[in-house]
Structure 1
Amino acid sequence: MLEGGIPVNLTLCAELSILSIGENRLTGKISSEIGSLRKLAFLNLQKNNMTGPIPPSLGNLSSLTVLALASNNLVGNIPELLGQSRSLSFFAISDNNLSGMIPPSLFNISSMNAFSNSYNKFKGSISPGIGLNMPNLQIMSLSGNEFSGQIPASLSNASQLQKLNFGSNNFVGQLPASFGNFPNLQLLNFESNNLGTNSSNDLGFISFLTNCSNLEMVSLSNNSFGGVLPNSIANFSTQLTRLYLGGNQITEMIPKTLGNLNNLILLTLEENLFTGIIPASLGKLQKLQKLYLNSNRLSGRIPSSLGNLTQLFELYLSANELEGSIPPNIGNCKICR
């Protein structure tokens, strides 16, 4: 519940190595005098109401390993001098009003483990050599900005990646097949971009993602992926719980093999160009809570096997070409729409 600004006289504590005052109600600007604390290794100011820019003087902190400024009201650009902090391993500035381009020098810090700057107003492309220059990355989050260009294939060199979140930007092109080289990957989010070219080979990378044996969530929704959803999707991680594929141009039939992903709790395939029947094998997904199949070109009857999904509380089937009666056992679902 701390309020007010950060006292400037804290900078008289020349031996200070940790300053952690996050999750309070602090206001005012980050004092440039903090850059005089040459032994500071850990600076946490996140989740306050700090305003103003990030002071360039923070780049003088050669011992800094953690810089957490997320969830404030900071404005302006990232100072170029921050790229001098060669010991940084945790850099979090998400949920501010920062803008401009990220200094290329920040993408060259080899000690970086977590790089999080989602929900700002950054633009520009990502350095092609990012994975080579930041090989120790475990978390990379750039969602909710205005980044453009292609996804660098070099990211696959950061083989320790666990979370890769580039959602809600303007990225184009294809996802690199080399993304299958992430044995520890748990989250892959590229939703709401301009990826894919509405062509038959857009989803070929899915076969390589099956090598990511720890995947729990994959979101590719609201892009321009075309072509057929390959049967190899059945070889996705058995830990997969959420699969988002809605809002694309995926064609032909829904693979029966989706029924093998028995830990799914959410499956969204809405607003595509799927044809044919709803596979009865979807009734094997006993943990499924949400199933979105609306706004496709599906035909035939609603399979009675969907009544086996007793955990289901959202079922969307509208805007298709389905026929026949609704199976009475669909009433076993909690809430179906």
Structure 2
Amino acid sequence: MGRYHTCHAKSGEVVELDLSSSCFHGKLSSKSSLFKLQRLRVLNLAYNDLVSSEIPSQLGTLKELTLLNLSNTLSSGTVPTELLHLTKLVSLDLSSNSLSAQKSFLNNLSQNLTNLEELNLGLVDISSEIPPNISKLSSLKSLSLDECTLPPNISALCNLETFEASENIFTGTLPSTLFNTPSLTYIDLKDNQLNAILEFGNISSPSKLERLSLGNNHFKGSLPISILSLVNLYSLDLSYYNTGMSVDFGFFLSQLKGVIDMDISYKNTTNIVDLSTIFLHLKSLSSLQLSGVHVSTAKMGLVSNLPTNLGTLHLSG
């Protein structure tokens, strides 16, 4: 829970204000005394009930802000363009509200808020492509755009460490530039409409990618052998990967030696996945989900050969 404030050592002015999860209920008025705190650097109002009020444009006057968190505040309306005046922002979180943004918002944000390291716009209706100039956000490490109604375009993403854009309307294939981002450790693009052959391009060597979630898309063809280049991968979601393979699917995935969390549920294939092969090679598995997959256990003693760390095993359907 929040409820703390920090004051400037000399002037005594409030410079940090964390009121997250403070059970506030009511509208954030444009005449609030909050906007008199001109030295404020941190403002966190997350998880309060602002009763569907609009975000006051006066927030744009707090020019010293480096962190602004308004997530889960029940805010509504259009994101005020005045927030783009907060050029010192390092972290901006407007997620999980009923907000929309002008089509030029992402483009202007990329021009103005060049110090951003974390940006979370989950559930904000952006309805515009990710602009090419997002590459200007060279400090950006974490980008979350879940359920933002983004059309099919993913541009170069610079120095990102995490990229989340699930439940959008991306189609086509994934650009190779995405996997060539040298610092990227997490990609979540599940529940989109990606429908081309899955390709990873010339993966940076060695790739730092640790978590890859591509479940519930519509990829064509077999899994590319280049996936085996993801030597640091420990979490893989390929659920609803509705294609066949010319090689044994279980044996292929068992070559990802470092994977400890794997979901290949409801894979539409005529091949039978041999659990003994997976368990033989993936000895560190802690979670395996194979619901809806043709599974063979004929070659193994199911209990005696389980990986010692296995805590979750789904074989339903």
Displacement after TM superposition at 1:167 (Å): 1.0
Residue of structure 2 in register with 1:96 after alignment: 73
Residue of structure 1 in register with 2:58 after alignment: 81
Residue of structure 2 in register with 1:265 after alignment: 234
C-alpha distance in 1 between matches for 2:84 and 2:298? 55
Of 177, 183, 189, the residue aligned with 1:208 is 177
Q: Greater helix share, 1 or 2?
A: 1
Does structure 2 retain, via aligned residues, the 8 Å contact 1:246–1:271? Answer: yes
State the secondary structure of the residue aligned to 1:46: coil
Residue of structure 1 in register with 2:7 after alignment: none
Of 8, 12, 16, the residue aligned with 1:42 is 16
Of 311, 316, 321, the residue aligned with 2:284 is 311
User: Does residue 145 of structure 2 align to residue 172 of structure 1?
Assistant: no
Q: Greater strand share, 1 or 2?
A: 1
Displacement after TM superposition at 1:323 (Å): 7.4
C-alpha distance in 1 between matches for 2:108 and 2:2? 42
User: Does residue 262 of structure 2 align to residue 291 of structure 1?
Assistant: yes
Residue of structure 1 in register with 2:224 after alignment: 255
Residue of structure 2 in register with 1:240 after alignment: 209
Q: 1:66 to 1:318 in 2, by over 3 A?
A: closer
User: Does residue 117 of structure 2 align to residue 113 of structure 1?
Assistant: no
Displacement after TM superposition at 1:238 (Å): 3.5
Displacement after TM superposition at 1:289 (Å): 2.5
Does structure 2 retain, via aligned residues, the 8 Å contact 1:257–1:281? Answer: no
C-alpha distance in 2 between matches for 1:79 and 1:275? 52
Structure-to-structure mapping, 1:120-159, within 5 angstroms: 120-125=97-102, 126-159=105-138
CA RMSD after TM alignment: 2.8
Residue of structure 1 in register with 2:167 after alignment: 192
Residue of structure 2 in register with 1:328 after alignment: 300
Displacement after TM superposition at 1:166 (Å): 0.9
Does structure 1 retain, via aligned residues, the 8 Å contact 2:234–2:258? Answer: yes
C-alpha distance in 1 between matches for 2:85 and 2:56? 15
Displacement after TM superposition at 1:70 (Å): 1.1
C-alpha distance in 2 between matches for 1:2 and 1:84? 23
Displacement after TM superposition at 1:326 (Å): 4.8
Residue of structure 2 in register with 1:67 after alignment: 43
Q: TM-score, normalised by structure 2?
A: 0.82
State the secondary structure of the residue aligned to 2:270: strand
Q: Deviations over 1:159-203 (max 9, x none)?
A: 101110111332222111x22x22xx221100111222xx3xx31
Q: TM-score, normalised by structure 1?
A: 0.78
User: Does residue 189 of structure 2 align to residue 220 of structure 1?
Assistant: yes
Displacement after TM superposition at 1:139 (Å): 0.4
Structure 1 gap ranges (5+):
7-14, 19-40
C-alpha distance in 2 between matches for 1:327 and 1:120? 51
Structure 2 gap ranges (5+):
5-10
Number of aligned residues: 295
Does structure 2 retain, via aligned residues, the 8 Å contact 1:216–1:237? Answer: no
State the secondary structure of the residue aligned to 2:285: coil
State the secondary structure of the residue aligned to 1:227: coil
C-alpha distance in 2 between matches for 1:70 and 1:323? 45
Does structure 2 retain, via aligned residues, the 8 Å contact 1:212–1:236? Answer: no
Residue of structure 2 in register with 1:35 after alignment: none
C-alpha distance in 1 between matches for 2:216 and 2:313? 21
